[in-house]
Structure 1
Amino acid sequence: MDNQEPRDKKKISPERKGLYYAGMAMMGIGIILFLSVFFIAFTGDPFAHEGNFMQNGFFGFILIGIGSFVMNLGARGAAGSGLVLDPEKAREDLTPYTKAAGGMLKDALEEMDLPSSKSVPKEVVRIRCPHCKELNEEDARFCKSCGKEIG
């Protein structure tokens, strides 16, 4: 039972999924209503329709805004979307997304074949210039300070 509890925190609740899909549906209907104004305007006489044909576009625009808010609320939760100001709850609400982003970043870094930060640092050997006593790289032929030849 204890092993499943952290796993459940990382999953999105069915209520939030429902809100997300409801917001998506509202946005879809809003887009259709908004675009219907242009369809009516280009296919015939817009004033032949009963009532004001522009109100479809207005309601569609409003529905798109409300739908995107509901979709954001469903995706990120009340605290994660900023509706409720509680940092601890926000972290909990955003856990599925932060874990996914961290996993994607880890996968990308593995693909790049970068040297591991856990690798042993390379030993650096320096040679002192006999003329000015400046430390130089071990393979240097000339001193980086005085320019004279090293041994």
Structure 2
Amino acid sequence: MNDKNPKKISPERKALYYTGMGITGIGILLFLSVFFTAFTQDPFDMMESQGNPMANGFIGFILIGIGGVVMNLGARGAAGSGLILDPEKAREDLHPFTSAAGGMINDALEEVDVLKKRSEEPEEVIRIRCPQCKELNEEDARFCKSCGKEL
């Protein structure tokens, strides 16, 4: 992690992520090239001139998987993606994402009226005790909420 700002993703992880994205892109192009050549050329001529036309598809499919793994390592770090089994390091690797999610949750919770009232100063409430049953009632109540006698 970057020592200056823990919320920033290191340049090494960014480079790893973009490398994985490039590998995935190359894999997709290789995989799709099989379909392109199949539609533009006669399949029997293709097999005689180029060998197995499906090899590009298999290589492309493998590169798509490798690119996905490399992108995952770049995005979440080694511990965050599960390559290294260390919970403390995983928390550190995932910190930019968890703090962003926590920030969004806090923003949403600030909009809830019930939670706003709890965070503000509590209102002072005056209660009146019923002389018969000793139940606490609201200040403006005319009758006890427990026994029903007049206050």
TM over 0.5: yes
Partner in structure 1 of residue 40 of structure 2? 44
- How far apart are the structure 1 equivalents of 2:72 and 2:28? 17
Partner in structure 1 of residue 14 of structure 2? 17
- How far apart are the structure 1 equivalents of 2:55 and 2:118? 60
Q: Deviations over 1:5-27 (max 9, x none)?
A: 85433321111111100000011
AA paired with 2:118?
A: S
**Deviates most, 30-39 or 15-24:** 30-39
Structure 1 gap ranges (5+):
none
Q: TM-score, normalised by structure 2?
A: 0.70
Instruction: From the superposition, tell whether residues 36 and 127 of structure 1 become closer, same or farther in structure 2 (CA, over 3 Å).
Output: farther
Report the Cα offset of residue 109 of structure 1.
3.2
- How far apart are the structure 2 equivalents of 1:91 and 1:138? 51
- How far apart are the structure 1 equivalents of 2:81 and 2:94? 9
Instruction: From the superposition, tell whether residues 24 and 145 of structure 1 become closer, same or farther in structure 2 (CA, over 3 Å).
Output: same
Counting matched residue pairs gives 144
**Contact 1:33/1:60 (<8 A) preserved:** yes
Q: Deviations over 1:4-57 (max 9, x none)?
A: x8543332111111110000001111111112222223x234524252221211
**Contact 1:141/1:150 (<8 A) preserved:** yes
Partner in structure 1 of residue 90 of structure 2? 90
Report the Cα offset of residue 125 of structure 1.
7.4
- How far apart are the structure 2 equivalents of 1:139 and 1:35? 78
Report the Cα offset of residue 86 of structure 1.
1.0
AA paired with 2:103?
A: G
- How far apart are the structure 2 equivalents of 1:139 and 1:55? 85
Q: TM-score, normalised by structure 1?
A: 0.70
